[in-house]
Chain A
Amino acid sequence: MMVATVDNPTFTTSRSDADDVALAANGDRLAFERVYRAHVNRVFAVCARMVADRSLAEELTQDVFVRAWSKLSLYRGESAFTTWLHRLAVNVVLNARKSEGRNRTRFGSEPDEVDTLPHVRASGWTPGLSLDLEAAIAGLPPGARQVFVLHDVEGYKHEEIAEMLGITAGGSKAQLHRARLLLREALNR
């Protein structure tokens, strides 16, 4: 059984990255650009997977880095910078979703009651083909998708997800299980 071989994103911060973060916190825009270039793909990935809309994810990614610039002085180094930035990205996405709740089409108009997903392959699922999984994740109902991305892709714990989404840890577990079952169905169809 083949599994994707892409390196798992690390939560550590390299020495030069830490230096750039410190310089950027003091107003060095060139250093902040280096910070941006080092982290933009990871930030964009979490935005894109959570909203299932690459165009919107690009806007949100810009928002994340603008917010990061204005809040860098508050970063004390208690956690790795990537962890801090990542949490900021998740908060920007979740807040944007709340603010645009009435504009359902941009954040996904599909109801959370969806029981099946559109099939993503004509034949059976070949494990390790991440493009299929990406497509299936994008087809999940918003609530299940957010929990799945935060837990299985990004590695947050249910208690953390519950706090971020304003649900219970049990609710997070239920959404995760539902998401996995929906994904299996979509990938095997």
Chain B
Amino acid sequence: MTMHAMDCAALDERLADYLEGDLDSAARREFDAHVASCVRCTALVRDLEQIRASAAELPELTPSIDLWSGIERRIETPVISLGERSAPNVAVRRRTLDGLKRAAIAAALVAVSAGVTYTLTVAHNGNSGPTSSVAANRSPTPGSNAPPSGTDTAGRQTIATPDATPPTAPSNSGQTLVTNPSSPGADTYAREIDRLRTIFARNRAQLDPRTAAIIEANLKVIDDAIAQSKAALAQDPASRFLNNQLNSALGKKLELLQTAALLPNRT
């Protein structure tokens, strides 16, 4: 195929550098000499250069819908609620549904967390029962999506107590982004996190100091992320990315605190 020093395998190895212009003059001459005498490598180099050239010439693309109405609505409205979206376009409608889905997920997560909190609180207080534990043994709030007594939103059995106060599930009316700092969902997160934090603080002495230190360091990282997300959301309350970030951080914090609260019982 070739009488030159460079063979096809060697060319393959240097092909990326050749295309990037990173070969020195001697190596480039060697490369060119092989390409000139090798049909396979001639086609390879030609095709890759063609792909590069065609990529640089690709045209602009046009969205399937006019996105301006959604953008205009977001930049005019600091906080987006469902009631204000009388005629959302496709993209905005999708965002609304995402918000509802996140609210439902948050409600389910908090309901499960509430059961854990209750269990831990009862375990600590004996049979006296918690004074402020969270359970689902009361009628759902009118207009809310709270599940029937004794089941969480995922249909699982939850721990119930007659004098318990149910968590406030995010409602379908008003602001639905659970991570909106002023929304009911955010309040529910905050209450549950506070309860778990109290349990963790109470049980901290039973933990290995290194384990406790790692948990606290991780909590600080998550708290920083929450603070940054909230600050950014204040500038752009409808950002799906920022809401996802905050939801994710709150979920992680809840999950970590649940794990931390259960640690003494596991060891």
**Residues of A with Cβ closer than 8 Å to B?**
1, 3-6, 8-9, 29, 32-33, 36-37, 40-42, 44-45, 48-49, 54-55, 57-59, 61-63, 65-67, 69-70, 92, 95-96, 99-100, 125, 127-128, 130, 133-134, 137, 148, 152-153, 155, 158, 173-174, 176-177, 180-181, 183-184, 187-188
Partner of A58, one of B16, B65, B244: B65
Interface residues on B, range: 35 or more
Shortest B226–chain A CB gap in Å is 14
A-B residue pair count with CB separations less than 8 angstroms: 140
Closest to B248 in A: A99
Q: Which B residues are in CB contact (< 8 Å) with A33?
A: 68, 72
Residue B193 at the A interface, CB < 8 A? no
Residue B140 at the A interface, CB < 8 A? no
Closest to A65 in B: B71
Query: Whole-angstrom distance between the alpha carbons of A134 and B70 in the complex?
Result: 27
Known: A63-B240, A130-B58, A177-B15. A58 touches B50 (CB 8 A): no
Residue B64 at the A interface, CB < 8 A? yes
Is A4's CB under 8 angstroms from B61's CB? no
Residue B239 at the A interface, CB < 8 A? yes
Known: A70-B236, A173-B20. A44 touches B75 (CB 8 A): no
Is A152's CB under 8 angstroms from B56's CB? yes
Query: Whole-angstrom distance between the alpha carbons of A95 and B241 in the complex?
Result: 8
Is A177's CB under 8 angstroms from B58's CB? no
Partner of A1, one of B50, B61, B71, B95: B50
**Residues of B with Cβ closer than 8 Å to A?**
15-16, 19-20, 44, 47-48, 50-65, 67-68, 70-72, 74-76, 90-92, 94-95, 235-236, 238-241, 244-245, 248
Contacts A36-B67, A55-B94, A180-B52 supplied; 7 other A-B pairs, CB < 8 Å = A48-B61, A55-B91, A95-B241, A128-B54, A180-B48, A184-B44, A188-B47
Partner of A44, one of B51, B61, B76: B61
Closest to A177 in B: B16
Query: Whole-angstrom distance between the alpha carbons of A57 and B20 in the complex?
Result: 30
Is B239's CB under 8 angstroms from A61's CB? no
Closest to A137 in B: B55
Query: Whole-angstrom distance between the alpha carbons of A187 and B152 in the complex?
Result: 52
Query: Whole-angstrom distance between the alpha carbons of A29 and B239 in the complex?
Result: 19
Is B51's CB under 8 angstroms from A187's CB? yes
Query: Whole-angstrom distance between the alpha carbons of A53 and B64 in the complex?
Result: 12
Q: Can you report 14 residue pairs joining A to B where beta carbons are below 8 Å apart? A: A6-B58, A29-B75, A57-B63, A59-B91, A59-B95, A66-B239, A95-B241, A99-B241, A133-B55, A152-B51, A153-B55, A174-B16, A176-B16, A180-B52
Partner of A180, one of B51, B91, B240: B51
Partner of B68, one of A36, A128, A183: A36
Known: A70-B235, A92-B241. A3 touches B61 (CB 8 A): no
Q: Which A residues are in CB contact (< 8 Å) with B62?
A: 41, 44
Closest to B17 in A: A173
Known: A4-B58, A66-B71. A173 touches B16 (CB 8 A): yes
Shortest B167–chain A CB gap in Å is 25
Is B74's CB under 8 angstroms from A66's CB? yes
Q: Which B residues are in CB contact (< 8 Å) with A49?
A: 58, 61
Shortest B89–chain A CB gap in Å is 9
Q: Which A residues are in CB contact (< 8 Å) with B238?
A: 66
Shortest A93–chain B CB gap in Å is 10
Query: Whole-angstrom distance between the alpha carbons of A92 and B238 in the complex?
Result: 14
Is B60's CB under 8 angstroms from A66's CB? no
Is B91's CB under 8 angstroms from A62's CB? yes
Query: Whole-angstrom distance between the alpha carbons of A65 and B75 in the complex?
Result: 9
Is A133's CB under 8 angstroms from B64's CB? no
Shortest A38–chain B CB gap in Å is 11
Query: Whole-angstrom distance between the alpha carbons of A18 and B225 in the complex?
Result: 36
Closest to A153 in B: B55
Query: Whole-angstrom distance between the alpha carbons of A69 and B76 in the complex?
Result: 10
Is B245's CB under 8 angstroms from A29's CB? no
Shortest B229–chain A CB gap in Å is 10
Shortest A19–chain B CB gap in Å is 19
